[in-house]
């Protein structure tokens, strides 16, 4: 059984955002080396929460992007909400939108009467051990449209660009930096 270490990237490095009822933050997980020991395995995790009901229940997006030497091997995510004492997990729709450099989760907000809600997106990625000692990084953004118009998204290496839309956009793309090495 592999040992999993979780390293929270400190908010003092600007990898989190709090704005009204919204919070977004990043976490880095180290999973060890790949089976052939030629790559490090990390989890790039991005999380969000609303601590009260939200207005405008359309499709939100949580996206992140990484460096060109990084390869995703799997993605996970979920969305939850609390309503009248019940806990519900309708899930998210995860795609890479044709990009090798990132991923997006579409979150269909279900009800403006929720007590709280949140979710997460994690990509399990591999980085060749030849990059040991160099800086690893990824960026994250979250959009909350105020209308049914869902913004387009362009994903590039360590780059996320949403098209024009009316709504909120939060970013913790001050680059989540870490040293590539066994943790």
For each of the chain's 183 residues, which pLDDT tens digit applies? 444 444 444 332 346 788 888 999 888 889 999 999 999 999 999 999 998 888 778 899 999 999 999 999 999 999 999 888 889 999 999 998 889 999 999 999 876 678 889 999 999 999 999 999 999 999 999 999 999 988 999 999 999 999 999 999 998 765 578 889 876
Token duo for residue 49: 């929460």
Which residue in 138, 136, 145 sits closest to 182, CA to CA? 136
How many domains does the structure of the chain reveal?
A: 1
Q: What are the residues whose beta carbons fall under 8 Å from the beta carbon of 38, sequence distance 6 or more?
A: 128, 129
The tokens describing 156, both together, are 């590039």
DSSP 8-state symbol, 157: T
Q: Which domain holds residue 90?
A: 5-179
We report the CATH number of the domain holding residue 12 as 2.60.40
pLDDT, residue 175, reads: 57
Cα pseudo-dihedral 124, 130, 134, 135, rounded to 10: -20
pTM above 0.85, yes or no: yes
In 10 A of CB 135, how many CB atoms?
A: 11
Lookup: tokens for 115: 């007590």
């Amino acid at each position: 059984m592999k040992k999993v270490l979780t390293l929270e990237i400190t908010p003092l490095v600007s990898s989190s955002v709090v704005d009204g009822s919204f919070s977004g933050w990043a976490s880095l997980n180290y999973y060890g080396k790949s089976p052939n020991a030629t790559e490090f395995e990390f989890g790039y995790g991005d999380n969000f929460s609303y601590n009260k009901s939200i207005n405008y229940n359309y499709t939100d997006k949580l996206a992140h992007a990484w460096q060109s030497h990084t390869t995703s091997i799997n993605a996970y995510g979920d969305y939850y909400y609390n309503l009248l004492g019940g806990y519900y997990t309708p899930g998210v729709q995860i795609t890479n939108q044709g990009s090798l450099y990132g991923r997006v989760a579409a979150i269909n907000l279900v009800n403006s009467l929720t007590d709280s809600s949140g979710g997460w997106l994690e990509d399990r990625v591999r980085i060749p051990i030849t990059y040991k000692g160099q800086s690893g990084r990824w960026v994250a953004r979250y959009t909350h449209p105020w209308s049914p118009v869902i913004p387009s998204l362009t994903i590039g290496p360590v780059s996320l660009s949403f098209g024009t839309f009316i709504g909120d956009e939060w970013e913790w793309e001050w680059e989540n930096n870490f040293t590539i090495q066994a943790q």
